[in-house]
A and B are shown apart, each in its own frame.
Chain A
Amino acid sequence: MGPKDSTDTSIPLSFVAELDELTEASTSIPPTPTKSGLVMAKIILSAAMFASDTIFTPRGFKSGFIAPYMIESSTAISVIDPQLKQEVRRLFDQGAYEFFQDGMSSPFSQSLLSMLALHGQDALRAIADYLFTGKAKPDVVSETLRQIADHGDRSNLAQRWHILERTLKDNSPRVRDGAILGFAALDDPGAQGLLLEARTRENIHELRVLIDQVVAQLGRTR
């Protein structure tokens, strides 16, 4: 038996668009809504609600952060540089041949972090875009989730959070493991509800125990 909604990785709207919304939402003042913008907002908000029954937020972000004024900005979705997309694909292909071990740096994780340092938000969007194609190997996705959770700042917290939230519902237990550990690395008490919800649909006992550990950790975080 798989987790609830086993097809969840096929996202009903452009994931890059969602990340763009979150980027702008966390960095800019909301523009005045226009009529066409509001129509778009309704469509995207519905899709977002379809994709997730409950919206949890990082600490410090207002509840229900996929708000219409944030979605308004989706009319100006930026395009990922094709060269960067290709670089990401190449990186993930190489990562597929690696054997990851806890606590050990790997050529993949080093290249991933270099790419994030060099290209910032663009790299994060390109990585997210590739993660959700379903082409990436679960072990590589899992490693990526831990790395992007661990490395970043407040400016891209919402995007990293969103990626973890999506992957928490992935078909692969290894990917879900990476998402759970990613939330542990973020160490944001705002994730408790999200993790408890994930626990109810988790069919791997070890992962339920892991969620309990992370929730307990977040409960101690102030």
Chain B
Amino acid sequence: MPLLLRTVKQNRWFKAEAKPFLANGDVPADCLGDMSTSENLLSVWELEENRSNLERVVRAVVIGRNNIENMGYIIFDSSVLAGVGIEILNNPGGSADSGANVWHRDLRLSGNKMVALVKAILESGEEAGQILKLHMKELVQQGIDQGELPQHLKKKL
């Protein structure tokens, strides 16, 4: 099953910090803040099997933010979705990187399903990672140079 990526603030997803919550069948409330939905849809990105598009999809999110900054993310197997009854939709993304938008997916959530998803990610997902700001700026510059990103993004660098 393909891997999915969601951008988050890494320091809200430390596994060791979540352990006491999970032990009580619960989740840290702060994680839910990183799962903001629109029309009950949560934006995620599908990774290639070799993860070759990881940096590109994270970059696609960052370029839509105010500043090119470091960006955290979590990765989880899409197989967890079936376990909690979450539907995955092949909706293309709306980022300024049109080449990356094909990897975009939406997850249809309810409140209970969101909590169940966070729990599943904390239990069986990977540790949260992060791309540092300096590298992110290199990635954006590279994207502009290679024509993957629009020139106007230069002003954010």
Contact = CB atoms under 8 A, between A and B. Distances in A.
Interface of A: 99-105, 142, 173-174, 177-178, 181, 184-185, 187, 203-207, 209-210, 213-214, 217
Contact of A142 (B11, B65, B130, B132): B11
Contacts, number: 68
Given A142-B11, A210-B130, 5 more contacts: A102-B70, A104-B66, A206-B129, A214-B132, A217-B134
Contacts of B62: 102-103
B132 A102 contact: no
B38 to A, nearest CB: 15
B7 A102 contact: yes
Interface string B125-143: 0011110111100000000
B95 interface: no
19 contacts: A100-B9, A102-B7, A102-B9, A102-B69, A102-B72, A103-B67, A103-B68, A105-B66, A181-B133, A184-B133, A204-B16, A206-B14, A206-B15, A206-B127, A206-B128, A206-B129, A207-B14, A213-B130, A213-B132
B146 to A, nearest CB: 21
A207 B15 CA distance: 11
B14 A204 contact: yes
